[in-house]
Amino acid sequence: MNVRADWEVVIGLETHAQLATASKIFSGSSTRFGAPPNAQACAVDLALPGVLPVLNAGAVECAVRFGLAVGATIAPRSVFARKNYFYPDLPKGYQISQYEIPVVQGGSLAIAVDGVEKVVRLTRAHLEEDAGKSLHEDYHGMSGIDLNRAGTPLLEIVTEPDMRSAAEAVAYARALHALVVWLGICDGNMQEGSFRCDANVSVRPRGQAAYGTRCEIKNLNSFRFLERAILHEVDRQIALIEDGGRVVQETRLYDPERDHTRSMRSKEDAMDYRYFPDPDLLPLEISAETVERIRASLPELPAAMRARFTAQYGLPAYDAATLTASRSLARYFEAALTAFGGDPKLVSNWMMGELLSRLNETERDAEAAAVTPDMLAGLLKRIADGTLSGKLAKEVFAILWDEGGSADAIIAARGLAQISDTGALEAIVDEVLAANPKSVEEFRAGKEKAMNALVGQAMKASRGKANPAQVNAILRRKLSG
């Protein structure tokens, strides 16, 4: 990968977030994913003669929630326009979108790359409908058209060209993804196309004020593809310019299988979309009262919660950021902490360790964790009071995850409680000392390592249940005596 100090990369992203409404943006059809082709396309979606669009208020609410969360201006009056072009899976021959006056204007999103914070400015976010899909396989040389997706509500979120590396672009995309899921306005499912990015990429000699010619890369439906595509595009552009060529403004498609981008269409054959206000829809008017009602219904946002987690619970910044990566995880943390009532850092450690690795393994959301916040709290209590060693606690966690129940019941049923009884421990230590004269000798000769071996033997003899700190203390007392 090139580390080209003399070039600066400039990136802006356009993200389509599919809004989590039950029905489509201009019709009553369901937006559920995965139905048989055209099972969710009504007369409006099919653009039959005589049909008319009616705006779904739920989609507007989603847009306003987003706008408020990024500190944008909510336009009191915005306009739906028609974007005209012919394509077999575009039933009306135009897409209803917002052009000159979008519903969300401005705003920003904070990101962090390697601990360095940065603010990415948003240009706008506007409501529009998705198109259908053309299916070119299995139709005996013909094309199939599936209009289930036609009319699905989208929020297109556009940034200023504020990102300077693929890593920043990915950080922005991740932060945006987390936010829209946090707000409950998008399910964030990238495989199903619920969240997809187009990247505008250009390069310029470091120090040059004017932007280079940009290319738009489409079809980026994973963070990895986004990163790969940008890295490749940057390489391509720099190589092109260094070879004496010039970048042509065009739309390029990222091909994940070949891991490269290829030209789709150049600016010369860019279509004239003949935008004009859609006469079938009135301008969208949003009153100040509506904005305030929605503002009042917003959840605590990730940035605010992150700050609170460090201030209120004394968590390190890294922990706070990890725990607020999703609303469900943050909710889990606060629930577990409330039930536990002890050290917040202990809760955080267990969530970032055992819980997250199990969630990642099983591809589950914190809401669906097999170990609930109450169950985790029960376990943490037994760690805090010394009943369980760290090692035993991990065993109990595994049993909790796989079989359910409570930490106390598992400890009782399997005799897993740590042995902290001094009499019992003294007996074990005596046995170990008697059986390992060599180690005893070595320790007395000043080999500190020998102590570890002795503690290990004691733990083994107790089948892991001995309290290691106590074993250590008893050993030292007996050996120094």
Q: How far is the CB of 96 from another protein (least distance, A)?
A: 11
- Single-letter amino acid, residue 378: G
In the complex with another protein, which residue's Cβ is closer, 127 or 376?
Answer: 127
d(CA 104, CA 68): 9
Q: With CB under 8 A, what is the number of residues at the site for another protein?
A: 29
Q: Which of 239, 255, 254 is nearest to 203 (CA)?
A: 239
Placement of tokens 């320790």 in the chain? 443
Residue whose pair of structure tokens reads 């993804």 in the numeric block: 177
Considering only 39, 112, 248, 282, the residue that binds another protein (CB under 8 A) is: 282
DSSP per-residue string spanning 192-242? TTSEEEEEEEEEEETT--S----EEEEEE-SHHHHHHHHHHHHHHHHHHHH
Residue span 16-55 as binding mask against another protein, x where in contact by CB under 8 A, dash where not? ---------------------------x--xxxxxxxxxx
Closest to another protein by CB, 192 or 280: 280
Write the DSSP symbol of residue 243: T
Q: Is 57 in the site for another protein (CB under 8 A)?
A: no
Minimal distance in Å, beta carbon 275 to another protein? 8
Looking at 187-195, 269-277, 290-298, 411-419, which segment touches another protein (CB under 8 A)?
Answer: 269-277
Nearer to another protein by Cβ, of 51 and 473: the residue is 51
**Which residues ranging from 59 to 88 are in contact with another protein (CB under 8 A)?**
82, 84, 86, 88
Q: Indicate whether 274 belongs to the interface with another protein (CB under 8 A).
A: yes
First-residue to last-residue Cα distance in the chain: 63
C-alpha to C-alpha distance for 266 and 190, rounded to whole angstroms:
27
Beta strand pairing call for 153-159 and 195-205: unpaired
Should residue 135 be labelled a site residue for another protein when binding is judged by CB under 8 A?
A: no
| Contact flag: residue 211 with another protein (CB under 8 A) | no
Nearer to another protein, 46 or 104 (CB): 46
Q: Least distance to another protein from the beta carbon of 226, Å?
A: 30
Q: Evaluate the CA torsion angle 199, 203, 206, 209 in order and state its sign.
A: negative
Torsion angles phi and psi, residue 333, rounded to 5: -60, -50
Least distance from another protein to the Cβ atom of residue 46, Å: 6
**Residue showing tokens 């049923």:** 413
143 binds another protein (CB under 8 A): yes
CA distance 48 to 34: 23
Residue closer to another protein by CB (options 162, 278) is 278
Nearest distance from residue 199's CB to another protein, in Å? Answer: 25
Q: Pick from 244, 279, 446, 481: which binds another protein (CB under 8 A)? A: 279
Instruction: Give the three-state DSSP class for 388.
Output: coil
β-strands 215-220, 250-255 pairing = parallel
What residue type is 278 in one-letter code?
Answer: D
Residue 264 binds to another protein (criterion: CB under 8 A): no
Q: Burial-class residue 262 by CB neighbours within 10 Å (0-12, 13-18, 19+).
A: exposed
Q: Are 395 and 374 in contact (CB under 8 A)?
A: no
Q: How far is the CB of 285 from another protein (least distance, A)?
A: 12
Helix (H) or strand (E) holding 20: none
Q: Does 280 bind another protein (CB under 8 A)?
A: yes
Question: CB within 8 A of 27, min separation 6: which ones?
Answer: 42, 44, 45, 53, 54, 151
153 binds another protein (CB under 8 A): no
Task: Quote the least distance from Cβ 272 to another protein, whole Å.
Answer: 5
The CB-of-30 to another protein minimum distance in angstroms stands at 18
Closer by beta carbon to another protein, 51 or else 384 = 51
- Closest to another protein by CB, 146 or 250: 146
Task: For another protein, give the closer residue by CB, 55 or 384.
Answer: 55
What residues contact residue 373 under an 8 Å CB cut-off, 6+ apart? 332, 333, 335, 336, 338, 339
* 3-state class (DSSP) for residue 83: strand
**Helix (H, G, I), strand (E, B), or coil: what is residue 393?**
helix
The least distance separating another protein from the CB of residue 100, rounded to whole angstroms, comes to 11
Q: How far is the CB of 210 from another protein (least distance, A)?
A: 24
Among 165, 276, 408, 420, binds another protein (CB under 8 A): 276
Return the number of the residue (47 or 379) whose C-beta is nearest another protein: 47
Nearer to another protein among residue 84 and residue 165 (C-beta): 84
Q: Which is nearer to another protein, 281 or 335 (CB)?
A: 281
- Least distance from C-beta 59 to another protein, angstroms? 14
437 backbone dihedrals φ, ψ, rounded to 5°: -60, -30
Q: Please state the closest distance from residue 146 (CB atom) to another protein, in A.
A: 12
| Site residues (vs another protein, CB under 8 A) | 43, 46-55, 82, 84, 86, 88, 91-94, 143, 145, 272, 274-276, 279-282
